[in-house]
Amino acid sequence: MRLAQDLTEGLRVSWGALRANRLRSGLTMLGVIIGVITVTLMGAAIVGLNRAFLSSISSLGTDVLYVQKFPWFERLDWSQVRNRRDLTLRDARSIARLSTLARAVAPQAITLRPVAYGSRSATGVQICGGGADTALVGGLSITSGRFLSPYEIDGARPVCVIGAALAEKFFPRESPLGHRLRIAGQQYEIVGVLDRIGEFLGIVNFDNRVIVPVTRYFTDIERWPNIDILVKVADMSQMDETIEELRGIVRRLRRIPPGQPDDFAINRQELFLKSFRKLSAMIATAGFCITGLSLFVGGIGIMNVMFVSVAERTREIGIRKAVGARRRTILTQFLIEAALISLAGGAVAIGLALPIVLVMRQWFPASISPPVAALALGISALTGILSGLLPAWRAGSQNTVDALRHE
Partner 1 sequence: MITLRQVSKVYPMGAENVHALRQIDLEISRGEYVAIMGPSGSGKSTLMNLLGCLDTPTSGVFELNGVNVGELDDNQLADIRNREIGFVFQTFNLLPRSNSLHNVELPLIYAGVPAIERRQIALDTLAGVGLADRASHRPNELSGGQRQRVAVARALVNRPSILLADEPTGNLDSKTGQEIMALFDELWRQGNTLIVVTHEESIARHARRILRLLDGRIASDESLDPAGPP
Spell out where 44-166 has E strands: 64-68, 102-117, 120-130, 142-145, 159-162
CA-based end-to-end distance of the chain? 34
Identity at 333, one-letter amino acid code: Q
What is the rounded radius of gyration, in angstroms, for the C-alpha atoms of the chain? 32
In whole angstroms, the minimum distance from the beta carbon of 22 to partner 1 comes to 14
For residue 136, the surrounding DSSP H or E stretch is helix 134-138
Q: Are strands 120-130 and 180-183 parallel, antiparallel or unpaired?
A: unpaired
In whole angstroms, the minimum distance from the beta carbon of 335 to partner 1 comes to 17
In whole angstroms, the minimum distance from the beta carbon of 322 to partner 1 comes to 6
Identity at 281, one-letter amino acid code: A
In whole angstroms, the minimum distance from the beta carbon of 385 to partner 1 comes to 22
Cβ nearer to partner 1, comparing 134 with 332: 332
Cβ nearer to partner 1, comparing 1 with 236: 1
Cβ nearer to partner 1, comparing 85 with 327: 327
- Interface ranges with partner 1 (CB under 8 A): 1-2, 5, 9, 16, 20, 315-316, 318-329, 399-401, 404
Residues 117, 100: Cα–Cα separation, whole Å: 43
In whole angstroms, the minimum distance from the beta carbon of 30 to partner 1 comes to 25
The CB density around residue 204, as the number of other CB atoms within 10 Å, is 13
Cβ nearer to partner 1, comparing 157 with 321: 321
In whole angstroms, the minimum distance from the beta carbon of 301 to partner 1 comes to 24
The CA-based angle 238-63-279, given to 5 degrees, is 115
Cβ nearer to partner 1, comparing 21 with 226: 21
Cβ nearer to partner 1, comparing 126 with 329: 329
Cβ nearer to partner 1, comparing 209 with 394: 394
Residues 111, 217: Cα–Cα separation, whole Å: 10
Q: Is 91 exposed, middle or buried (0-12, 13-18, 19+ CB in 10 A)?
A: buried
In whole angstroms, the minimum distance from the beta carbon of 327 to partner 1 comes to 6
Residues 258, 221: Cα–Cα separation, whole Å: 37
